[in-house]
Amino acid sequence: MTGRRTGLGKRCGALVASVGLLGACTSGSTEPQVPYWMDGVTVESVARHVQVELPGTATGAKAAHQRAHDDMLLLSFVLPTAEVDGFVDGLKPERPLRPGTPFAGEGKLFDRLGLPEPASVPGVRETQVCAPCLARDLDFLQLAVARVDERSTRLYFRAID
């Protein structure tokens, strides 16, 4: 009887090994692992997604979209400094712009767009536009504002969908 158990054990072991190999062969996926940054993302598509209309005076606009369990969208552009407060007021943020450390602990998000991280810019201000953003169908939308020079200011948006 001991020999029979050993034979059965060998057959079961072979079956388990075969199933394991089969699983290893079929578990490969052509889908990218999440999170990943999407290719071919446009400023227009991200702006539409987060429902932020770029003013006609906006320049240097850049955007990115990271696929993950909760997608992250980045949008940034430059406005004449004189227009920034009116533009931000039009977004109806939950609180006024205030000095802070925007997107703290999130790593180098805007480096992906070739931009300095807003937290590294002296005098940066930040606000929460909305959380949750029911009208925008987002989990939240954050904004940081940093002067580029005397006449221009860069706006940095981060949204989680």
pLDDT at 19: 43
pLDDT at 160: 94
- Parse the chain into domains and list their residue ranges: 1-30, 36-160
Mapped onto helix, strand or coil, the DSSP state of residue 63 is strand
CA distances from 52 to 44, 102, 142, 159 (A): 10, 19, 12, 11
Contact of 38 with 66, CB cutoff 8 Å: yes
H-helix or E-strand spanning residue 140: strand 140-147
* Tens digit of each residue's pLDDT (9 = 90 or more) over 102-150: 987 777 899 999 999 999 999 999 999 998 888 888 999 999 999 999 9
Q: Which residue has the tokens 């992250």?
A: 72
* Tens digit of each residue's pLDDT (9 = 90 or more) over 52-91: 999 999 999 999 999 988 999 999 999 999 999 999 999 9
- Other CB atoms within 10 Å distance of the CB of residue 112: 13
Residue 120 C-beta-side C-alpha neighbours within 13 Å: 9
pLDDT at 12: 47
This prediction's pTM: 0.78
Q: Which residue has the tokens 């770029």?
A: 54
Copy the structure tokens of residue 97.
């712009």
